[in-house]
Amino acid sequence: MDYGEEIVILFSKHYYILCTMNQKYPLLFLLVFLTTQIFADPPIPPKGFRWVVNGIFSDEFNGNKLNSKKWYDTFNGWEGRAPAMFIPEAISVKNGNLEIKSGVLDKPVNDFTIYGGAVSSKSSNAYYGYYECRAKASKIAMSTTFWMSNAKVPYADTEDTRDSYSQELDIQECIGGGTVHKKFRNGMNSNTHFRYVKPGEKKETFMSKGTGATLNSEVSDEFHTYGAWWKNANEVMYYADNQLFDTVMVCTDISSRPFDRPMKINMVTETYNWQPAPLKEDLLNDEINTAFYDWIRSYELVKVDKKMKLTYKEPIYTENIKLEVKNIDTSLLVDFTYKANRNRKIEFLFLDQDGNVLHKKKVAVYAGYGNNNLEIEMDNFKNKKPYCVQAKYTFKLKLKTVETVF
């Protein structure tokens, strides 16, 4: 990508500033970003929209116990798949992580001889949006998963109301110590299931479409970020370590809008009937028997100028502004994206080649990750040619205003 011939990088206490001069247009491509820790982010929102964190389904797991206002420490209506049973004692929050530990039951319970754990959201109203978690799998033959689901309801599009359906959106399903399929040790494995029960039957028919991606390391070696943009009733986009790798169109063999209802969120460790259960010595080894979830975050896509009450207080964004400027007839069009943890003001400065300010414009932005534009008429420059555009946040603090120093 070529924006021009000269690149100038300036540094101050609070910002790096990347400026690229363009020969065709006497303007500047400017990137401003804070020098703080890099976080995972949702994809770039469409123009005129912004991502807003949904606090109901987001958690940094920085406390010392599971947030009982948000999460169950079990899976209501499902006790697990034998031989592994879900038990609340497998769940803990410490060292900045949600931990789900697997082990051996003191006494067998029916067909259950070992245990795993399940954490599921108390709300089942997770709807279209972006959902991601940062997780490190256990290194045993138990899964580490991140997925969404809902309960069965009658399927109203058929004349026979005895049929029913539910939805399942699998974002990540992996097995750190898997012995059957290598992709479950080193990949992101995703799926969409329209789970249909025909009239007069009890067994489900799975209408499924899935995908997967190979990661740069095994799922139990380090933390990876797994995300899905549930765009609408028919489409899901999957992201591995913040990179889009595939888009899945949900199967429409039964319904033309198969993913049309909200769901709940689940983080589960379980056994499978196609993967041999973990060895006892592995289950008793505390070095490998635990799955770690650093955080889980969910985002709603809203209009960029829609005022909303913040439902999540954690500062998850590395606050920044990115912009590109174009000449449009008698005006300048400034396309910009921004990330802000609180409502902010952005100040745009239009400079000539000597650094003189030709025009200033302040724009209020709402918290989130936004994508917008600003159009400035050439008349504002008083017959002088703008050469550079700068953008910065203006922070109104009690004692001082912190801003970019050039």
**DSSP helix/strand/coil, 282:** helix
Which of 5, 6, 60, 168 does the annotation list as catalytic? 168
Q: SS3 letters for the chain?
A: CCCCCEEEEEECCCEEEEEEECCCCCCEEEEEEECCCCCCCCCCCCCCEEEEECHHHCECCCCCCCCCCCEECCCCCCCCCCCEEECHHHEEEECCEEEEECEEEEEEECCEEEEEEEEEECCCCECCEEEEEEEECCCCCCEEEEEEECCCEECCCCCCCCCEEEEEEEEEEEECCCCCCCHHHHEEEEEEEEEEECCCCCCEEEEEEEEEEECCCCCCCCCEEEEEEECCCCEEEEEECCEEEEEEECCCCCCCCCCCCCEEEEEEECCCCCCCCCCHHHHCCCCCCEEEEEEEEEEEEEECCCCCCCCCCCCCCCCEEEEEEEEECCEEEEEEEEEECCCEEEEEEEECCCCCEEEEEEEEECCEEEEEEEEEEHHHHCCCCCCEEEEEEEEECCCCEECCCC
How many other CB atoms are there within 10 angstroms of residue 81's CB atom?
Answer: 17
Would residue 168 show up in a list of annotated catalytic residues for this protein? yes
Please tell me which residue in 60, 132, 159, 173 is annotated as part of the active site.
173
Q: Which residues are catalytic?
A: 168, 173
